[in-house]
Amino acid sequence: MKYFYAILHKDEDSAYGVTFPDLPGCFSAADNEDDVLRNASEALELWFDDQPYVEPSRLDQVRTMAAEEIGAGGTLIAVPHIRNDHRVARVNLSIERGILDAIDKAAAERRLTRSAFVAQAARNEILGAH
């Protein structure tokens, strides 16, 4: 997993805005701070659906590219890019039986497979969703 640095903007009486200096035209917005990272990660996924993959710039390079925005109050954030390559890998996990039973129950309630539930839970954990 790679991280892309983005600039978080927040003006008074506006939503949070996120732009990516490495990726022209890639942006996201969120009404509250808790949704910023998830929405920014989703914007990365959507951007790469139509664009060739590029390596993220180093932090010092992004600071230089975004000096004006940072000077105007923008904040740099690291956004995880979870590549959406649709390949499935079979893995063997060891999990306590009680947790597995809880996973199976929660997955069934959501009409998901065990694998889909675990993948979704992992994504939520990586992106800091609560």
Residue-wise pLDDT tens digits, 17-68: 999 999 999 999 999 988 999 899 999 989 998 899 899 999 999 999 999 9
Report field, pTM of the whole predicted structure over 0.75: no
Confidence of residue 130 (pLDDT cuts 50, 70, 90): very low
CA–CA gap between residue 20 and residue 80 (Å, rounded): 12
pLDDT-based confidence at residue 1 (cuts at 50, 70, 90): confident
Assess whether pLDDT exceeds 80 at residue 16: yes
The hierarchical CATH code for the domain 2-81 is 3.30.160.250
> Model confidence over 59-110: pLDDT tens digits?
999 999 999 999 999 999 999 988 776 778 888 889 999 989 999 999 999 9
The helix (H) or strand (E) run that includes residue 78 is: strand 75-81
d(CA 21, CA 24): 7
